[in-house]
Amino acid sequence: MPERLARRYEGFARCAVVPTPFPDVPLVEAMYWHHNRHADPAHRWLRETVRKVGASLDDPAPTQIADVDASHGERAFPELAPASQRGERTPTPLEEAVSRTRLAGRTVVITGAAQEVAAAAHEGASVVATDVLDEPGEKLAAALRADGLDVRYHHLDVSSPADWADLASSLEAVHGLVNNAGIPMRARLGAVELADWNRAFAVNTTGPMLGIQTLAPLMPAGASIVNVGSVAALTAHHAIAYTASKWALRGLSKVAAPELAPRGIRTNLVHPGYIETPLMATANPVFTQAHLSMTPQGRPGSCEEVAPLVVYLLSDESSYVNGAEITVDGGYSAHGGVKAITNALDPV
């Protein structure tokens, strides 16, 4: 281990009050391995990984650890080695335990029950999945519980203050809120009905505002709010009600970030592009083709490509990220509309 890092980790080790599940390996080296593998802060290992792994294993025996090169004074963890070094095989219980620590001990509320539910649960969170579609929501929660994950479903109309209050009454603390619920409302400016306009704002903007108002009092320092916007909020997207409501969500997020920061609560915004979701399944094929033609990567994204970013923003790894807007759009919003010009000049 480099001497500089050894000094840094030894400083953390001297402050440690948790037992290590690796009794014959110096805590300093365990932390060094964890830092290089996961890029987590060393204190994260001390506070969660060691405690969680130690508690989850029946026999955290030192036989799982072997010397690799005594001349360098370092050790390796063969049971935890990256797949590229250990070949393809089924993860061990120890690997499973270590991988599920980024959100361990945290309660995360996710509206519009989506892929982020599974991603957060797999990282150790206790997830409350909410929606107005009760049957699929219950099925999702039941399926994840069958996999050993901590997920429960709660009915929630995000535009209803009473529903938010009911949810809050069932919670003691909330460490993460993902405002994912949304509706499209695809009418253009000249045709949009006032009722559709109001409904789009009720779900896409008022819903997140009510969620923040209601759950922020239950959030301790270190909590995180992730609002799910859209590339429509970065452009002159034709669906006026949807686009205006997502632009408004940007304003809400920008105000919430500095407002809640003194309490240790972060607020960030994720802007997905064309992602293959049930919402997009009913999109006009002409729109789909046109949108993807303007996407430099030339394909739709998947929920699996958005969920890891949401988990990152919920975790301590993003502890100094606040008020950010991050696109997941295959480069759609990056070219400012000039991709068509580039294609015309240099056809692909």
List of residues 6+ apart from 70 with CB closer than 8 A? none
- In contact, 307 and 315? CB cutoff 8 Å: no
DSSP string spanning 136-198?
HHHHHHHHHHHTT--EEEEE--TT-HHHHHHHHHT-S--SEEEE---------TTT--HHHHH
Query: What whole-number distance in Å separates Cα of residue 45 and Cα of residue 101?
Result: 9
- Residues noted as catalytic: 242
Which token pair is 236?
């002159």
C-alpha distances (whole Å) from 98 to each of 28, 37, 70, 122 are 17, 11, 25, 11
Tokens 């969620």, located at residue = 211
CB atoms < 10 A from the CB of 45, how many? 27
Q: Which two tokens stand for residue 340?
A: 């068509």
Could you identify the residue written with the tokens 């579609």? 133
Please name which of 65, 34, 29 lies closest in space to residue 49, comparing C-alpha atoms: 34
Q: What is the CA radius of gyration of the chain?
A: 23
Spatial contact of 109 and 133, defined as CB atoms under 8 Å apart: no
Closest CA to 152 of 175, 134, 172, 173: 134
